[in-house]
Amino acid sequence: MVPARWMIVVQVLVLSGALLAAETESELDAKAAKHFTTRWSSVRHSKSVVIDNPAVSKTPQASENISESVTLSCQVEIREPNLIVGVSAEGVITQMTDSKGQEVTVSAPAGRSHQRYEALRYRPQIRRQEVPRWKRIIAFVMRRPPPVPGPPQFVNELVPSRMTMRLDTAVLGQAGGELKSVKGYFHALVAGSIENIDVPFEPNDAWVRLTPDVEIQIREAVCTPGSYRFRIEQRPQAALGMRSLAIGQPLPARMVVARQFIQEDGKPSPHGGSPPFVSAMIAGRGSGGGGNSRIKAVRFVIAVDPTERKIPFEFSHIPLPNPEQ
């Protein structure tokens, strides 16, 4: 039996912009697209020529191998990441026009089979705390010394995701040096809502159910003001998570997408934890540290009713490399 003091807190966050299941697929895609801004960042033409030595390669004569590719790279800015669980690293081109506006019939090479969702990208930043304006005003009115800003804090900053598309090399000779327009889409995994399950950071022999198929147990939880270590077990050990979720695969109704360590102030620890949303490691052992706040809970972030959306994009006036250079 679970002790009374060992309480599990469940928070259901139905965030603004949640998608309604009653809408059509195209309406859902259009609504989800409002969360994204997609821009092309570069076009790369790569060509390599390799000549094999017949004495080494065991061929009767020297052979020449030519490899050539054209890659369109893009940045996907996620304006409202609250419900966005993951995005595809490759896009799909549906239409291209040349410099004169004529449709280019060259088909783009097929992407990787069984492409998997990529987690949103975060990078750690040191952010200085600013003194609130009202405090500065009060200090000025009271003729007191200006208040001192708080110490710098580590934060995880969301950065644009990366996406690439491979073009047929024939487009370099057919498009007249420019693609007037490129239309297509990429895949995004969008949650209907987000649920947080906070499990106290202390050893316990009770199993906590996160989804219909996954339970966890906190076997070890040691915390000091400057560090912590943990061991979390899971059953079954092989459970579906984002890192094993391929595009087009049937989606569960509930899926663990992040694990965080919550401090006494209620904020996720920036040291040793992980920002939402990541390829969640549900179980395992590890440690963290670097801050002065103790860990009070392990938070498992659950994507409820996730759906796969096709996010449309359109680019204009993309210059192409000169293949003769």
80-113 pLDDT per residue, tens: 888 898 899 999 999 999 999 999 876 655 555 5
How confident is the model over 278-297, as a mean pLDDT? 75
Strand order of the sheet with strand 254-263? 9-13, 193-200, 295-304, 254-263
Q: Which residues pair with 92 in a beta bridge?
A: 185
User: What band does 4 get if pLDDT is binned at 50, 70 and 90?
Assistant: very low
Whether residue 132 has pLDDT greater than 80: no
For residue 244, give the DSSP letter. G
Strands (E), the chain: 9-13, 36-52, 63-78, 84-88, 92-97, 117-119, 121-127, 153-159, 161-167, 178-190, 193-200, 208-211, 214-224, 227-235, 254-263, 284-289, 295-304, 307-319
pLDDT in tens, 9-24: 666 655 444 444 446 7
Q: Which residues of 312-325 are buried (b: 16+ CB within 10 A; e: fewer)?
A: bbebeebebeeeee
Mean pLDDT score, 257-284:
72
- Write down the pLDDT at residue 280: 60
Mean pLDDT of 35-57: 89
Q: Which residue has the higher pLDDT, 37 or 274?
A: 37
pLDDT at position 306:
92
Dihedral of the CA atoms 118, 120, 123, 124 (nearest 10)?
Answer: -120
Give this prediction's pTM.
0.78
Q: What percent of the chain lies above the pLDDT cut of 70?
A: 80
pLDDT at position 254: 92
What are the structure tokens assigned to 162, written together? Answer: 């990366």
In tens, the pLDDT along 48-70 reads 888 888 878 777 766 778 888 89
User: Exposed, middle or buried, 33 (CB in 10 Å: 0-12/13-18/19+)?
Assistant: middle
258: pLDDT strictly greater than 50: yes
In this predicted model, what pLDDT tens digit does every residue of 262-272 receive, in sequence order? Answer: 888 888 876 65
Name which of 292, 297, 296 is nearest 150 in CA terms: 292
Tell me the Cα Rg of the chain.
Answer: 26
Residue 41 has pLDDT above 50, yes or no: yes
pLDDT value of residue 276: 52
Domains of the chain: 9-17+192-307 (no CATH), 25-47+66-126+155-191+309-319 (2.60.40)
Q: List the structure tokens of 117.
A: 């969702």
Question: In whole angstroms, what is the distance from residue 56 CA to residue 14 CA?
Answer: 64
> Which pLDDT band, with edges at 50, 70 and 90, does 278 fall under?
very low
Q: What is the mean pLDDT of residues 250-266?
A: 87
Write down the mean pLDDT value for the chain: 81
Span of 69-78, 222-231, 253-262, 290-299 with lowest mean pLDDT: 290-299
More confident residue, 275 or 324: 324
Residues in the chain: 325
CA atoms within 13 A on the CB side of 206: 16
Tokens of 254: 């509930």
pLDDT in tens, 184-236: 999 999 999 999 999 999 999 999 999 998 999 999 999 887 788 899 999 88
First to last CA, the chain: 73
pLDDT of residue 19: 42
The predicted structure's pLDDT at residue 253? 92
Which pLDDT value is given to residue 243? Answer: 54
